[in-house]
Each structure stands twice: as structure tokens, then as C-alpha cells.
A and B are shown apart, each in its own frame.
Chain A
Amino acid sequence: MTLDQSEIRIGLLGAIAIAALATLPLFSQGYYLSLGVNLMLYAALCTAWTLFSGPTHYISLATAAFFGLGTYTVGLWVDHVPFFALVLGGGVVAAVLAGLVGLATLRLSGVYFVIFTLGLAELVRQLVSWTQTKVSTRMGLYVFTDFTEMHIYWMLLALTVAVFVTGWLIGRSRLGFAMKIIGNDETVARHVGIDTARAKIILFMISGAFIGIAGAISAPRYAYIEPPSAFNPMISFLVVIMALLGGTKRLWGPLVGVVPFTILFDQVSAQFPNHTPIVMGLAFLAIVYLLPDGVTGRLEQLRARMKRTENAVGEEKVA
């Protein structure tokens, strides 16, 4: 594998950024670390979501289903199996579900897929509840570990890095090339001999696995695992909103959405604890009104405008 100059430069900058982020727990063990954990969680979730939804333009609302399965894997087995095995296990379980769902639905497209994934989280939640009622008299599971916020932060940071590296590798692979064609025109892709269903399912499984792992890592933070909190549909919606706010054309796009959104949401709920929904509603209006293409869309627009001004200045000089 050969890397060109700009890739090496991005890689180095990335490594420095990761190293800098990893030192956060040295500066704050309290609130800022907590905020950091939430930021990192949604960074991982949104980027993993974009792995699949970015190139395919399929809006998946199944995030909560994968996340909850990861959380439950840890909740069910934490007393019997080492935690890190469970984290991987959560990923595997989520990938299997993604594979099954993909087989059944990825031949569908557009709105059918959205509706199905929305129902999926609820379906999995009900199945888990039902199984638990039948086999035990206790619904809540307790996950008590020695992990503190700091450990969870580092694990989520590592996960986010893994998602980015995977995304970058996919981009360079045959799969990534196939996805680019599928994203542009699925019919053309089929005609040139790409097995579109297979490509989409593989990507959906990778994305689901990462979300499952994020859920597994979060389990010790919940401590008390029950279906409504593990399969909270808000997770699915927040991920979509943040990713779209950032823009899904580039792998780093969601980050630009996650950071301002999480901080804004947090500030609003701190300053207006009794009026959060109203203020958030106003903020959404403002975002849609001011940033219809997401943050990355606006950035690219600005860059284009700057180029145009440069060109204009250049022309004047010539004249």
C-alpha cells in the first residue's frame, strides 16, 4: 500500500489530534470529561452511520436497535465474560442483525427502508422485553464495573479512530469504488456488473457493528440496563440530525455537526432548563434556515466563493 504526500500529512495531523484529545482526562475529571464522552459517543455513532448512509443515501433509523443490542450483550453477560470480549460480541451481534435486515430490506429503497428501520428498533426492543419476561422476573440488568468516565472516553476515542480508519480503507477499496458508483446511479452500477445488494449489505453490517460496539462501551455508564433506555429512539433521531447537520458527503462531515450540536443542546438545557424544547425548536429553525446543506455544504460554498473572488481579483490585475 502506498500513501501519497497529502495522505501522510493528514495522517500525521490526525495522529496529533488524537493524541491531544486523549489527554482530556488529564485536564478535567468532571463536567468537561462528561461532555467529552457524549461528544465522542455521538462522533462515533454519526461517523459509523455515515459509513453506510453517506454513500448510499439510505436514511437508517436503526441506530437504536444496534446500539441497544450492544448494550444488552454487555448487560446479560458482564458477570460471566470479560468486558472486552463482550464489546466485540456486541459488534458481532449487531452485525448479524444488520446482515439479516440488509438481506430482507436493502433491495427496497427510499422511504420503505426508512420506515422499516424505524420499526426495527421497536421490534427488537419488544422482542428483548418479551424474552426477558418469559425467562426471568427481573427486567433491569445491572452493569457494575471499575470503569470510570475516563476509561469510557478513551474507549470511545479508540472506536472513533477505528471508524475513521475503516472508512478510509473502504474508500480505497473495491467496495468503496463500488459504493461511489451505486451512490451516483444504482442502475448503472448493476449494469457494469456490481453486485449492489451484496455491497450494501456488507457496508450496512460494518456500520451496524460499530454502532453495536458503541452501545457495548456505553453499558457501564448506564449501569442499569432496561429496554426503554437501551433502545431509546432518540438516539436514532439525534444521529440522523447531527450527521445531516454536518453533511454526509465526507467522512469527517458528521463531526462538524456533532460538535456544535452537542454543545448547543447542552448549553440550551443548562440555561433554559424549563424551556429546552422551545429553544431547541428555534435553533432547528435557525439551522434549517441558515444552513440548508449542512455545515460542510456551507464550508464548500464559502470556499467556492473565495476562489471566485480570487479569480475576480486576478482578472482585474490582468486588466
Chain B
Amino acid sequence: MIRRTFIALAAGAASLAFIGHAAAQETIKIGASAPKTGPLAAGATVSHWPNIQLWVSEVNERGGLKVGDQQMKIELVEYDDRTSAETAVQNIQRLATVDNVDFIVTPYSTGLNVATAPLIARYGYPHITTSAITDGVEEFAGRWPNSFWMLGTSKELAEGTAAALKKLMDAGEIGNKVALVHVADAFGLELAGAGKPALEAAGFEIVYEASYPLGTQDVSPIISQAKAAAPDAFVGFSYPGDTFALTEQAQIQGLEVGAFYVGVGTSFPAYAGRFGAVANGILGAGGTNPDDEKIKEYRAKHKEVTGADADYWASAVTYSGLQVLEQAIEAAGTKDREAVVEAIKTGTFDTVMGEVKFENNVNRNLWTVGQWKDGVFYGVAANGIDGAIEPVKKDGWE
């Protein structure tokens, strides 16, 4: 039985390979390596892979990319990096030297992007990252001139949070006492490191501060201690797992705050799915302008093609990154990587996030904070993008 299954699988693989080969004329080969398994697979299947699927389907439906005077359909080669740097490096090598792809889609997460960046730079591919968020982006952009950083820095994200809370305080909605917790990894530390001074500069007093290890299952002590400090606002620089857990505990223990902010994962459609009306008024990392026509159209297409809702933060950024690549290839009119890198550096791109232009390879126009309102996550703070709505006070957990 097992042998027969193997033979069937092998035959399937062989025929797939054959079809791939037969269709290899007049196409443009695009490679992608990102987690399909491992710790980051959950995030990648929400924000990363569906956008690649959507983009390839959109472009091919239009007849392909216009390269010079030719229309080229996209042929996608995808690999799972198992959330491991060794495998990611090997995948990039395979894409570059065995599959000989014309272009490479960014890997997923800060770590995997930094691990693969030297190789991608060596092969000269444009590397438009859409899921790396770290204060190192300026340094990286200098180190690898072919790399572009679209998701901004931790500092910007943390400062956006402080700005959104300050708006609420200035409006007299909340007092100045903040409980600040963060996950103890690079992301949480950078955000807390930038967020603390930003909050203090905005006139907040930090009445409780704690960190917890990555992968913590039980966050009830954190919430109960935060509650004991009687804060007016709660800020958690968290990852999807703990974002859900912190919210759940705050709800169970009835944490009375006028502003409740949690990190990555707040913008996932599953978050509203899980908490329903309770999510109303919750602040989180990311944001978008759901009333914008382009975003509306993008979200509808995303749902139609991939069968899932886009998240309200990295999804649109990821798709925009692919649009930048697409428009740069068409502008350069060639598959030549160097010419395309140059086109990205100097061009202005029309994306679902609005106009994108790189300043020294870094995108500065970003959403930083969003807020749930009747099942939709509205941007309430952004840099260089219009359409933010005013944040409102969180009204209980009922």
C-alpha cells in the first residue's frame, strides 16, 4: 500500500514537472521561499502566501507581465523553509542556481530575511521585504543595496502607539497610567525599548512593566498584576499567540482600561472572529483604511481568489511589495535584475497602500496603529498616509 502510494506520488510529481517544463516558453519565473511549516507558518499562511497566490493569479489573468514588447505569464516556484534559516538559505540557492528564477519574492519574518539577504544580494535580485520590522533597516539597506524595506521600524510602530494613546489622553478619555508588557524577543524588546521613552515623553506614567518568554501559554499572572497596578491603558507588544491570550485574560479578569493595545495578530480577521463585539475599541499593531477604494477592491479580490480575508496590516503591505516588483519590471522593460533594482530605487509606485516611494531603500509611509470597530480594523495612526480615524475609548468587555 505504502509503495503504491509512493509510486502514485512520484508519478504525480513527474507529470507536474513535465507540465512545468512544457509551459516554460515566454514565461517569467518567480521564486518564493517562506514558512509553510514550523513556528511561523501560522503567520505566513495569513499574511504572506495568500498574497503571492493572489498576485500571480491577477497578473496571469491580465495576460502576464509586460516585459519590453512581450507579455510573459508568471510561473511560480515555491518552497517551504520550515521556519529554519538553513533551509531558507538552501531554498534561495536552489531558486537562483537550479530553477534559475528571474526574480525572488521576499522571505517571511525579520530573521529569515536577514539570513537570506547576503545571498539574494550576491545574485543581485531585488529583495523587497514586507514582513521584516526592526530598527536595523537603515543599516541593512546600506549593506545590501538591492534590498528594500517596506514594513518600517520598531521605533515607528512604538511611537505610533504612544501617539494614539496621547490622542485619547488629550481628549480626556483616559488618564496617564500605563501598564506595559512585551514578549521577550527581538521584536518585543525593540518595541518596548522605543515605546517606553515615547510614552514617557507623551506624559504617561508606566505603573507596571513586565516581559514574558516567547511561547508563554499562561498570561493570567501578567494580567492580574497589571490589573493590581490600576492602569488607565494597557499596552502589550505581543505576538499572535499571546495577543489572543492577553485579550482573553483581560476579558476574563475584567481589566478596566480605557485603552487596550496588543501587538501582532490583532489585525487578523480571526481576532474579530474569536472576540466578536468584545473586540470593539481594541487597539493593535497595523491598520489600514478599509474605506479606501483600492483597499476595498483588494480585500474583495483577496477573499474571492484565496477564500480567506486579508489581515489588516501586513497583507496589504505584502501585496504592495509584489506590485512594486511588477511595476518595476514593466518600467525597466527587461528581466535584467540590475535594471529592475534601479527602477525600484528611483520609481514611484501605485499600490493598494497608495503611492510608494523608497527613501534610501526604506518605505516611510505606513500604518502604525489600528482599532477594531464593528468587525473592521480601522487605522488610527499612520506616517505619511491619510485616512486615519480618531481612536475611541474602549468600553468594557461585554
* Chain A residues with CB under 8 A of B193: 137-138
Q: Is A223 within 8 A of B90, CB to CB?
A: no
Q: Is B90 within 8 A of A31, CB to CB?
A: yes
Q: Number of contacts between A and B (CB, 8 Å)?
A: 130
Q: Which residue of B lies closest to A278 (CB)?
A: B9
Q: Is B190 within 8 A of A138, CB to CB?
A: yes
Q: Give the dominant DSSP class at B's interface.
A: helix
User: Contact string, A84-108, partner B, CB cutoff 8 A, digits 1/0?
Assistant: 0000000000000000000000000
Nearest Cβ distance between residue B104 and chain A, in whole angstroms? 13
Nearest Cβ distance between residue A44 and chain B, in whole angstroms? 13
Q: State which residues 113-170 of A face B: CB under 8 Å.
A: 126, 129-130, 132-133, 136-140, 142, 144, 148-149
Selected from B3, B38, B143, B214, the residue in CB contact (under 8 A) with A129 is B214
Known contacts A38-B86, A129-B213, A137-B193; decide if A226 and B186 are in contact (CB<8 Å): yes
Instruction: Decide if A59 is an interface residue (CB 8 Å cutoff).
Output: no
User: Contact string, A275-291, partner B, CB cutoff 8 A, digits 1/0?
Assistant: 01101001001100100
User: Contact string, A248-292, partner B, CB cutoff 8 A, digits 1/0?
Assistant: 000000000000000000100111111011010010011001000
Q: Is B98 within 8 A of A30, CB to CB?
A: yes
Instruction: Decide if A196 is an interface residue (CB 8 Å cutoff).
Output: no
* Chain A residues with CB under 8 A of B110: 140, 224
Instruction: Decide if B205 is an interface residue (CB 8 Å cutoff).
Output: no
A32 to B90, CA, bound (A): 9
Binds B, one of A12-20, A228-236, A306-314: A228-236
* Chain A residues with CB under 8 A of B189: 132-133, 136-139
* Chain B residues with CB under 8 A of A38: 86-87, 90
Instruction: Decide if A237 is an interface residue (CB 8 Å cutoff).
Output: no
Instruction: Decide if B308 is an interface residue (CB 8 Å cutoff).
Output: no
Instruction: Decide if B335 is an interface residue (CB 8 Å cutoff).
Output: no
Known contacts A223-B115, A228-B39, A232-B84; decide if A273 and B13 are in contact (CB<8 Å): no
A271 to B80, CA, bound (A): 10
* Chain A residues with CB under 8 A of B186: 138-140, 226
Q: Which residue of A lies closest to B100 (CB)?
A: A30
Q: How many residues of A contact B (CB 8 A)?
A: 50
Q: Is B84 within 8 A of A229, CB to CB?
A: yes
* Chain A residues with CB under 8 A of B84: 229, 232, 234
Q: Is A130 within 8 A of B80, CB to CB?
A: no
Q: Which residue of A lies closest to B99 (CB)?
A: A31
Size bracket, chain B contacts = 35 or more
Q: Is B114 within 8 A of A224, CB to CB?
A: yes
* Chain B residues with CB under 8 A of A133: 184, 189, 211
Q: Is A34 within 8 A of B94, CB to CB?
A: yes
A243 to B185, CA, bound (A): 32
Instruction: Decide if B206 is an interface residue (CB 8 Å cutoff).
Output: no
30 CB contacts below 8 A, A to B, read A29-B97, A30-B96, A30-B98, A31-B93, A33-B93, A34-B89, A34-B93, A35-B90, A35-B93, A126-B213, A130-B213, A137-B193, A138-B190, A139-B184, A139-B189, A140-B186, A149-B89, A223-B85, A223-B117, A224-B85, A232-B84, A269-B82, A272-B13, A274-B80, A276-B37, A276-B80, A276-B82, A282-B5, A285-B2, A286-B3
Extra 7 A-B pairs, beta carbons < 8 Å, given A224-B110, A224-B114, A270-B94: A34-B89, A129-B185, A142-B136, A149-B89, A226-B111, A271-B17, A273-B36
Q: A-B pairs with the 9 shortest C-beta distances?
A: A30-B97, A137-B193, A140-B186, A139-B186, A34-B93, A224-B114, A34-B90, A31-B93, A31-B94
